[in-house]
Amino acid sequence: MRTICSVKASYFGSPVDDVEILTRLPEEISNTLRNENGFIAAGGGLHVRGACVSPAWHSIRAAWEGEFALHRLFPMVHESDIPLAEDCFGDQYLLRDRQVVRLQGETGEIEATQKTWNEFLATTEADSIEFLGLSYLIRFQEEGGVLMPGYLLSVYPPFVAKECVNPSVRPIPSLELRLWLADFARQIRGVEDGQRIQIRITQ
């Protein structure tokens, strides 16, 4: 287990092979990626993307400008928002005006963290369980679950549901979860607090 920017990491991306995207990033971000080109940390709870062409799940360019870029899926995401990281449940951390904002995957809403990139990493190191909400990841791992690179945890019932007291979690490919969350957020847009919804599970 190596350490980068005070964050213990279990996965590191291959060396930078998307130099052009690296030159478009703020200095504090490019410095991080030149040292280690993205990583998975916090016991699998935090994935920081890299300046790479592939794999797509690890690529800043794919999440920023690709076919399934975040701004194409979530209306509240700007094209200029830089999709730097995600947690294990598919919430996204974007750089907007030099500050990290959080995209809540289930609702598509944006909330400020009031943190710069370096402050965000420091907070993750100091208290990742609370800051990233990783209690269900820990339970998943304690029950023998393994979260492989490129996979995130799907939660059912969703966190926004009142019934989400003891949800089940299962690993699925990160893009699959992103698409599901975007569709779910679209369908519940405008639903008032306390209003009942029906979730149909299809194969």
198 lies in some domain: no
Structural domain range at position 22: 2-188
Mean pLDDT of the region 53-81 = 97
- Mean pLDDT (the chain) is 89
* Whether residue 157 has pLDDT greater than 80: yes
Mean pLDDT of the region 147-163 = 87
130 lies in some domain: yes
| 106-128 tens-digit pLDDT | 999 999 999 999 999 999 989 99
Which residue, 191, 181, 195, is CA-closest to 103? 181
Residue 180, helix vs strand vs coil: helix
* pLDDT the model gives residue 104: 96
Distance between CA atoms of 84 and 78, rounded to whole angstroms? 14
How many domains is the chain built from? Answer: 1
196 lies in some domain: no
* Whether residue 192 has pLDDT greater than 60: no
* pLDDT the model gives residue 166: 80
How does DSSP classify residue 90?
S
12 lies in some domain: yes
56 lies in some domain: yes
* pLDDT the model gives residue 78: 98
Weakest-pLDDT range from 22-31, 163-172, 174-183: 163-172
201 lies in some domain: no
Mean pLDDT of the region 63-89 = 97
Residue 95, helix vs strand vs coil: strand
Distance between CA atoms of 155 and 127, rounded to whole angstroms? 22
DSSP string across 15-72: SP--HHHHHTS-HHHHHHHHHSS-EEEGGGTEEE-BS-SSSGGGBHHHHHHSTT-HHH
Give CA angle at 112 (106, 113), nearest 5°.
105
* pLDDT the model gives residue 3: 44
User: CATH number for the domain including 119?
Assistant: 3.40.1580.10
Question: Tokens for 7?
Answer: 């964050």
Distance between CA atoms of 49 and 58, rounded to whole angstroms? 5
